[in-house]
Amino acid sequence: GRATSAVHNAMITYCETTRLGACFALLDQPAGLSASSMVTYVEETALLVGLSEFGHIHWPRGKVLNPNRTVYGSDKQLVVPVSGHIAGACARIDNARLGGVHDAIAGIVNGVLIGVVDVENDQALDVNQRNLVEPKNINTLTSLPGMRPFLNNSNCLKTTGNWGTIGERRGMIFIEQSIKRVMEFARQRNLGERLYAEVNTSVTEFMRQQTALDAFASRNPKLAFFVDTGRGLNTDAVRATKT
């Protein structure tokens, strides 16, 4: 809910630099923005357009049922930031099936935000208004008659790199972090052909599992990936800098 330029840029720096690409930022939008104001915010105020594959922003905020009128006032519904709901959707899809982490968090199946009953701004229901914000990689929260609100798209702030959607980027974070864990057994062991072969086998098996779960464009392992754990990547200079 802390939707400021300083916070948003700090979150991206944290994900990319502090955590070395090990996490993904869900950025909330400032409250009460129209479609055109949201575009101004991401383009001019916060400079978020094309900034990073490690973050996403959406528009508008959502409405939830008031859980306690004594605490939150008499309104039946409250306008709230929905990054927590989006995180919940990510967790739900991650656990819905093996390989779910690679799926897009968008659409009327995977993109439904449980607990959100309406959108803050009815402009989000107008395709012409959505067409103003979505080309700026702002994911819209919208709805259809008789349906709960859902994320209409799932672009990262930057879509011109290798992994431009939430599913792709989060999927690659999962693969990168998993491979680091897979290779942990090799740390501080004596180098030799046997160790290189063990590492290659471990990583290849993991990547084959991911291929079978539709992590890549092809289910053919020969087309989906290749593994290189040879000496060419582990030179004397590289070894001297590693602990």
- In angstroms, the CA 118 to CA 77 distance is 9
Q: What is the DSSP letter of 32?
A: T
User: What are the pLDDT digits (tens) for 160-186?
Assistant: 999 999 999 999 999 999 999 988 998
The pTM score is 0.89
Residue 243's pLDDT is what?
53
Q: What's the one-letter identity of residue 60?
A: P
User: What are the pLDDT digits (tens) for 23-38?
Assistant: 999 999 999 999 999 9
Phi, psi of 4 (to 5 degrees): -130, 160
Residue 242's pLDDT is what?
63
> Exposed e or buried b for every residue in 52-79, given b needs 16+ CB within 10 A?
bbbbbbbbbbbbbeeeeeeeeeeeeeeb
Sequence-ordered list of residues with C-beta below 8 angstroms from that of 71, at least 6 positions apart, any chain = none
